Structure formats: structure tokens, C-alpha cells
Amino acid sequence: MQSPRSTSLSGRHVLVTGANGGLGEQFVAQGLERGAAKVYAAARSTRSWDDPRVVALDLDLTDPEAPARAVAAAPDVDVLINNAAIAPSDDTITGPEEELRRIFETNFFGTLRLSNAFAPVLGANGGGTLLNILSAAAWISMPTGYAASKAAMWSATNALRLQLEGQGTQVVGLLVGMIDTPMTAGWDVPKVTAASVVAQAYDAVGDGTLEVLADGTTRDLKTRLSTPAEELYPWVHEQIAGLAATR
């Protein structure tokens, strides 16, 4: 007999952004393993998949017209997973404004635009689930545009939870530190596997959890958020300096 977790997506229709590799590829694979009837694998450049339940979907989050096309192509979606994001290697909060805007256009505006476009679809399909992949960087205040964009998206995720509560949509925020994916290849630090992060995320979809803290670093950081700033930020500085030393 299959466990409840292994069938937590039974019959559901899932859309995953940034689906071609890393975390996104795991969301596609585990979605199928957990019984999804269909998984839309969305990316800027689509690839072929060997399972007929996977539908490749062309989606560029920086294109303002793309969400409407995605809604037209995937009107049966009841689980939206906002995974796509960029983290340039030379990213800095003091960098060129054009580069910061590029980061925010994908990580914040593009993600929010897609969420708003699919909100009525989720509502029409029984409420559904909206799952946003965030980052511990939203809380540790690393001096990057990426961290700032994830902090903004964390706030927006919490706002969407309130906004969509009336239509019965579960809004999940997934926060995690370093994941062993190509995005973190330049960091020589302990990392969790993409498979473990996705498993926790899908468990949350199944049991109604609203926030997932997917590794020890993130859980520890969450406990420190009530620390006075005069104590918290020296600790943050130490963490950032330690990370910088590993590159």
C-alpha cells in the first residue's frame, strides 16, 4: 500500500517554473512520483521529457505577456510552484541599477505577475496551492540584489496568503539555505540535496503547512529573528564573512 505522502499529489495538475534542472527538475520528478496527473514543466528554453504526463511550457518571467499565455495553455493547474530565479555571481546591492532591476524582474515582479495571473485559475480549480521558493537570504540580509529580491518575495508571499485565503488557496513559503544545485557550485559549504528540499515542500502541500524551513541553517536563523538588531547583525556579519571565505 502506498503511503499518504507518496500519493499527496494524486490527480493534481502542477506547474513548475525553472523546471529544466536543479530544484525544478526534482519538482517535476517527485510530482510524478506522488501521483500528479500532469506536470507543466515551464522554462525559458523548453526541453523534451520522457513521461507523457509532462507538458513542456515556454515561459519567460521577464515577458509581461507570458503569464496570460501560460494561463491559456494550462487552465487546469491547481498547484503552482514558483521556482525560477536568478543569482548572478557578481551580484551586489551596490551594483548597477540595471542589473538589480534584472534580478528583481525575474525573482520578484515576474514571480508575482505569474502568481496573480494564476490566482483565479487556482480558485476556479478548488482553491489549489501556490508554493514560492524563497531563501534564507531573505532573513540574513546578504548585501546582494538576490537577497533583497527574496526578502521582497517573502513579504509578497505572506500578503498573497491573506489575499487568497477567501478562495481557499494554500500559500506556502519554502525557505532554505544552500542547496546542492548548479546555482551554488561556487560555494564550498555544507549543502542539502535538492531531493530533500522538494520532498519537504510536497509534504507541506499534502498536509497544509504554510511555511517550510528546509534545513538546519534556516531553522536556526528563524529562531534569531526576534534578537535585538545590535546583537543580530554582528552575528549576521560573521555568517556572511564565513560564506565569503568559502568562495
Across the strands, what pairs with 108? none
185 has a pLDDT exceeding 90: no
Whole-angstrom Cα distance, residue 41 to residue 19? 5
| Residues 207-238 pLDDT 10s | 999 999 999 989 998 999 999 989 888 887 77
Note the pLDDT of residue 179: 74
Note the pLDDT of residue 2: 47
For residue 102 the three cell numbers come to 534584472
Confidence label for 59 from pLDDT (cuts 50, 70 and 90): very high
Across the strands, what pairs with 175? 213
Q: In the predicted model, what is the mean pLDDT of residues 151-158? A: 98
Q: In the predicted model, what is the mean pLDDT of residues 76-96? A: 95
Whole-angstrom Cα distance, residue 225 to residue 223? 6
More confident residue, 55 or 247: 55
Note the pLDDT of residue 141: 72
Q: In the predicted model, what is the mean pLDDT of residues 49-73? A: 97
Distances (CA, A) of 4 to 10, 50, 205, 209, 244: 10, 26, 12, 15, 42
| Residues 29-45 pLDDT 10s | 999 999 999 999 999 99
Alpha helices in the chain (DSSP H): 22-33, 66-73, 97-104, 111-124, 137-140, 145-163, 194-207, 216-223, 229-244
186 has a pLDDT exceeding 70: no
The set of residues, in sequence order, having a beta carbon less than 8 Å from that of 71 and lying 6+ positions away, is 117, 118, 121
Strand order in the sheet with 13-16: 54-58, 38-43, 13-16, 79-82, 129-133, 170-175, 211-213
The CATH architecture one would assign to domain 5-244 is 3-Layer(aba) Sandwich (3.40)
Q: Which of 56-70, 147-161, 181-195 has the lowest mean pLDDT?
A: 181-195
